[in-house]
Structure formats: structure tokens, C-alpha cells
Chain A
């Protein structure tokens, strides 16, 4: 009887041991799944933020072409760009509210090359990059060149 009780006790201990092992594995597995899900959702949020910043940059009135106060989509006025690249540092707080930690460049590729920085406030680390072609209007010559807007958003 004594040995029978001992056997039963060992049986109970073994069951408890296996139960807690399974519970531990389950918790570790669940933690891994949650970590992956959270990391994917964080990535989605960072990408959405990058898209928002690139949309704001593309439609920023400070650089967008306009004729008789009518804005033109997908068009950047080079004179406005040059002006903004000279003054954005003096108004960093204002533009930080719009662009956050990011860097926005206008690169002209055709017919000749050119580059302007219209906002630069990066932090070290990884970033999302979006490049979109735009027309670059030269109002003095009344001609359109082609380039792209290069948006790098931290995250």
C-alpha cells in the first residue's frame, strides 16, 4: 500500500511536471507570436507615416506650382524650392509639425541635374524611403524639367 501510494504520488508529480512544461512552452510560443504581430503592425504604422509625409511634401503649398492661385498637381516650382531650402532651418519647428523626423530632397534628372534640400531633420537609424517623379517648373524660362521627390522618414 505504501508503494502504491508512492507510485500514485510520482504519477501526480509527473503529470504536474508535464503540465507546467506545456504551459511554459505555450507562453513562450504565444509571446513569440505576439512579438511578430506587434513588429508587423509597427512596420505598417511606420510605412503609413512615410506615405503621409510624402503626400504632404508633394502637395506642400510652399513648393507646389500654381498659376493664378490655382495649384497644379505633381509639379514643383523651382524658385519656391530654392527659397524654402534657404529658410526652412529658421522655421524648423513649424516644418517639424508637418514632416517630423525626415529628410526631403528634390532631385532634377532631365534635361540637366540639380538637387535641393527642402527639409532635413533626420535622426540616426533606419528609415523608409519613397521616391516619386515630379515635374519641376522653371518659371523664369517657363519650362518644365523632370525630377523626383525623395522622402526619407525615420522609423
Chain B
């Protein structure tokens, strides 16, 4: 092989190596995903805080019971829709469902969050508010989950209040 051909080959190899180096840099620096810290923190706190706040909230027009008590009554007497009758005539199941729906619409929905909030006892769902892209069966998306067990009088297993916030 002629000397000049060898030199050209050398230059080509150098150009290829430099291009590969530039590609790696672009891949790992310019295209690096950022901003996951805030998302992880807010979604974790959001799930925990939302459940804590919902369970403590007082139903002022339902004998000043808190939502936990209404959910317990709904779970214990699900067939009748709960035996507590609120001031406006609604039973505990309907009142708890409506209250939780209103809370979610003013918080998670207003902030455009994808979530799934399900209160269930055994295989029965007492409350189910799930957005389109955050079905519980989906395993392909990252979720922050908070589970809150609530004992139910007269039942062998507790009710589970579960909130998933999907990324």
C-alpha cells in the first residue's frame, strides 16, 4: 500500500473515533433526562398527603363524621349503601363517593395529574376514581403509591384505600 493511502486511512480512523466520541457526549449530556427529582418528590408526597388529608376531612353535612368513618360504614353495610344517613338524605356510600370525587377534582384533576384512587374491601370496590392513563393493571408506567388500611367493624379484613400517582 502506498504511504499516502496509509495516511488517508489513518485520518479516516481518527475522524470516525472523533465522531463516536461526539455521539456519546450528545447522548449522555445533551439528551440526559432532567427534572426527575422534583417529580419523584412531589408525586411521593402528593400520594401520601392526599390520602392523609382525605381520611381526616370532616363531612360537615353528614353528622360531622370524618370520611374514614363514612367509608367504614359504607364497607360494613355495602349492600344497603351504608346505614349512616346524612343531613341531605344521602347514605354514607354516596356521600363519601361524592366528597372524594369533589376533592379530587379540585386537587389532582386541577393539577392535571394521572391517578388511581380505589377503596376496596376484598374484591368489592367502594370508591374508584381512575384517570385514563393510570389504570391499576398497567405495569409499564412509573407510579408512586400510598396504601392506607382502614379497619372495618365486623369484617375479618380491613378496607384498603390505595392512591397511585402516575408519572
Contacts and interface: CB of A to CB of B under 8 A. Distances in A.
A119 to B, nearest CB: 19
Contact of A111 (B42, B56, B60): B60
B160 interface: no
Interface string A124-155: 00001011111100000001111110000000
Contact of A145 (B38, B50, B57): B57
Nearest to A74: B52
Contact of B66 (A43, A134, A144): A144
Among A37, A110, A128, A147: residue with most chain B CB under 10 A = A110
Interface string B19-48: 000100100011010110110011001101
A75 B52 CA distance: 9
A73 B49 CA distance: 9
Interface string A35-62: 0110010011001101100000000000
Contacts of B53: 74, 133-135, 146-147
Looking at chain B, what size class is its interface with the partner chain?
A: 20 to 34
- Chain B interface secondary structure, helix, strand, loop or mixed? helix
A66 interface: no
Contacts of A51: 37-38, 41
A83 interface: no
Contacts of B3: none
Nearest to A143: B58
Contacts of A143: 58, 60, 64
A135 B57 CA distance: 7
A82 interface: no
